[in-house]
Amino acid sequence: MIESFRRGDWLTQARLIFYPRLLLVGFALAVAFLFVTSDGRMDIAGRPLGTDFSQVWAAGTFVLEGRPEKPFDNPAHFERERQLFGDKTQFYGWHYPPYFLAIAAVFALFPYALALILWQLGTLPLYLATVDAILRGLAPRGPVIVAALAFPAVFVNLGHGHNGFLTAGLLAGGLILLPKRSLIAGVLLGLLAYKPQFGLMLPVALLAGGYWRSIAAAAATVAAMTGATLLAFGDKTWLAFFDSLTFARQVVLEQGNTGWEKLQSAFAAVRMLGGSIPLAYAVQSAVTLVVALCLACLWHGRADLRLKSAALMAATLLTTPYCLDYDMMVLGPAIAFALAHGIEGGFAPYEKSVLALTWAMPLIARTVAGLTLLPFGFLTISLFFSTIIWRAAQDGAALPRPSPAGSAASLSPTEPRTGS
């Protein structure tokens, strides 16, 4: 059995076809049940459909009223949610930078259920398109799309009405375009500023890889977005956002108001196991430092860009203390990057099994953590990241380039061109 896991022989073609289809049917039935048994806003359990999307819709109503600073006023935001979803609804806080208010305002123009459907169906194709692009010509398109749709994080994201499809699409899309469309890649990566906790490792990777044009494009995109929101919403909205960060840090993160089993970070693992806040920050800082050093070496070296991209996407999750299970949507394209590299160059021992475990993990990460206090999600993401780094080292690919001015013609299509 161990040898089967080492070689990945247990992942037969029949299993790779049957289990994604089975999960997809189950997820589709569950989502349909939620909608059919709802009243258009509240599900059968008395929660807003798409739970967290309720905060987006509520915030959007404030913007349409000309009060874009109000979503950052927690009592006012909670009162608005109670007006829209009933007195028994729980509080869903608004913690996004003002960039996201423009999107919230657009969806607040529609009835709630329709807005939720448009939001999810409008962003899901972005995620699917990146997975399809990564594996195009390497695997049959039909099974690829089915596996991408059946990725358990898709269901988690749908259940929460969250932005995981958009985050995965922007990050993976930027990495796909990095070698040949560096400016557009930078714009896509800059748009991720709406979720700033996932941007910590982007400068590390791009600087180490010498993607100066992409860095400039990303910086210009963030500057343009900031200027636009200042003009549209005023500086009062930005000041309200900064004032709200203390509540987000102390209550949502440090006190675990979200629920430790939902968080998939080193910080949350320490707190879930009873560790103090200073210890949790120390462990998270150590993890972030190690991941950043590994990522910098990988991106400065000769590794296939698909391995670099997979590692970067995993690193975005490992280096933030606030990573929830729906954020693991970014692992979908990350797995696709690693799979594409393995199909072309062969798989290392246990690599197939690690990829399969990472794919399945979002289905049970929250449950395992809640029942056993085992940070299964964080451990699996760490294993995936370590496997990518190890694979690059096995290939002899993570060594520094001999010359930053090396000939672009000598590089493979998946390697960066210095100064791109």
**Whole-number pLDDT of residue 349:** 87
- What is the chain's pLDDT, residue by residue, as a tens digit (420 residues)? 788 777 777 777 888 888 899 999 999 999 999 888 988 888 888 899 999 999 999 999 999 999 999 999 999 999 999 999 998 899 999 999 999 999 999 999 999 999 999 999 999 999 999 999 999 999 999 999 999 999 999 999 999 999 999 999 999 999 999 999 999 999 999 999 999 999 899 999 999 999 999 999 999 999 999 999 999 999 999 999 999 999 989 888 988 888 999 999 999 999 999 999 999 999 999 999 999 999 999 999 989 999 999 999 999 999 999 999 899 999 999 999 999 999 998 888 889 999 999 999 999 999 999 999 999 999 999 999 999 999 998 887 444 454 433 333 333 334 444 444
CA 281 to chain centroid: 21
**Whole-number pLDDT of residue 407:** 32
> Tokens in use for 372?
């056993």
> Tokens in use for 162?
């969250």
Of 140, 136, 134, 149, the C-alpha closest to 19 is 149
pTM for the whole structure: 0.90
3-state class (DSSP) for residue 156: helix
Of 224, 237, 258, 203, the C-alpha closest to 96 is 237
Task: Tell me how far apart the alpha carbons of residues 18 and 155 are, in angstroms, rounded to a whole number.
Answer: 18
Give the CA distances from residue 311 to residues 224, 299, 330, 342, in Å, rounded to whole numbers and listed in that order.
29, 9, 11, 14
> Tokens in use for 222?
């963030």
Angle of the 53-64 helix axis to the 99-107 helix axis, nearest 10:
90
Domain spans in the chain, listed from the N-terminal domain onward? 2-35+123-410
Cβ pair 13, 147 in contact under 8 A: no
Cβ pair 321, 268 in contact under 8 A: yes
Whether the CA torsion 93, 96, 101, 103 is positive or negative: it is: negative
Cβ pair 124, 165 in contact under 8 A: yes
**Whole-number pLDDT of residue 408:** 32
Task: Tell me how far apart the alpha carbons of residues 92 and 322 are, in angstroms, rounded to a whole number.
Answer: 16
Task: Tell me how far apart the alpha carbons of residues 292 and 312 are, in angstroms, rounded to a whole number.
Answer: 9
Eight-state DSSP code of residue 330:
G
Which are the contacts of 247, defined by CB distance < 8 A and separation ≥ 6?
A: 74, 93
Task: Tell me how far apart the alpha carbons of residues 145 and 108 are, in angstroms, rounded to a whole number.
Answer: 31
Eight-state DSSP code of residue 116:
H
> Where does 178-294 show beta strands of DSSP type E?
none
**Whole-number pLDDT of residue 414:** 45
Which are the contacts of 78, defined by CB distance < 8 A and separation ≥ 6?
A: 91
